[in-house]
Amino acid sequence: MSAAPTATGGDGPVPPPRTSVPGGAASTIDGTAAASTAVDRPAAGAEGDGAWPAAVPVAEPAEPVVAEVEPGRVRWDPAERRARASQSFWTAVVGVPAIFSVLRLGVEAGGELQTTLLLVANVGPVNLLAGFLTTAARLLSTGLVAVFALGAVLAVSADRLPPGTRRRPLFARWADITPAWVVLASFLLALITWPLLYLPLLLTAFVAAFQLRPGRLHDRVVPRLLLIGALLAGYGWLMLPTLRDAMRQGDEWLVLVLIVVPPLLALFIAGPLPGMVIRPLASVTEVAVLATLIWAAVPVITTPVLPLTVTTVGPESGPTEDVRGHVVTTDDVNMVILQEQGGVRYVPVGLVRAQVLCPSEEELPRHQLRIHDFHVEDSLLEGMGRRVRPVHRIDAACRTPA
Partner 1 sequence: MNSGSSQSRLRSIASTLAVALTLVLAAAAGCDSRKEPDLPSVQEKMRETHIYGQSKLRVGVATNEPLMSELRNGKPVGFDVEIARYIAASLGYEGDQRLEFVPVATEERIPALQGGTVDLVVSSFSITEERKKVVSFAGPYFVTTQEVMVPARLKGKISTIEDLRNPDYKICTSGGSTSEAELGSHQVKALVVKTVGDCVAGIRTGRYDAVSSDETILAGFLARHPKEFEIVDMPFGTSELLGIGVPIGDPALRDLVAFFLQKSYQQGRDDQATPWQTAYNRTLGPWLKAEKRQPQPLEVPKLVDFDDKAPAK
Query: Out of 120, 296, 301, 380, which residue is the one contacting partner 1 (CB under 8 A)?
Result: 296
Closer Cβ to partner 1, 130 or 277, answer by number? 277
Q: Which of residues 182-211 bind partner 1 (CB under 8 A)?
A: 195, 197-198, 201, 204-205, 208
Cis before 22? omega within 30 = yes
108 near partner 1, rule: CB under 8 A: no
Distances (CA, A) of 6 to 13, 27, 31, 85: 11, 16, 11, 32
Taking the alpha carbons of 72, 76, 77, 79 in that order, is the dihedral positive or negative? positive
DSSP 19-32: PPSS-HHHHHSTTH
Output the smallest distance, CB 269 to partner 1, in A: 4
356: β partners: 310
257 near partner 1, rule: CB under 8 A: yes
Q: Which of residues 355-374 bind partner 1 (CB under 8 A)?
A: 359, 361, 363-366, 368, 370, 373-374
153, amino acid identity: V
38-44: Cβ within 8 A, 24+ apart: 38/6, 38/9, 38/10, 39/6, 39/9, 39/14, 40/16, 42/13, 43/10
Q: How far is CA 91 from the centre of its chain?
A: 12
Stretch that binds partner 1, among 25-33, 108-116, 235-243, 268-276 (CB under 8 A): 268-276
Per-residue b or e along 21-40, where b marks 16 or more CB atoms closer than 10 Å to that residue's CB: bebeebeeeeeebebbeebb
285 near partner 1, rule: CB under 8 A: yes
Stretch that binds partner 1, among 45-53, 77-85, 217-225, 251-259 (CB under 8 A): 251-259
105 near partner 1, rule: CB under 8 A: no
Closer Cβ to partner 1, 9 or 169, answer by number? 169
324 near partner 1, rule: CB under 8 A: no
64, amino acid identity: P
104 near partner 1, rule: CB under 8 A: no
Q: Which residues bind partner 1 (CB under 8 A)?
A: 146, 150, 153, 157, 195, 197-198, 201, 204-205, 208, 251, 254, 257-258, 261-262, 265-274, 277, 281, 285, 288, 292, 295-296, 299, 319-320, 359, 361, 363-366, 368, 370, 373-375, 377-378, 382, 386-387, 390-401
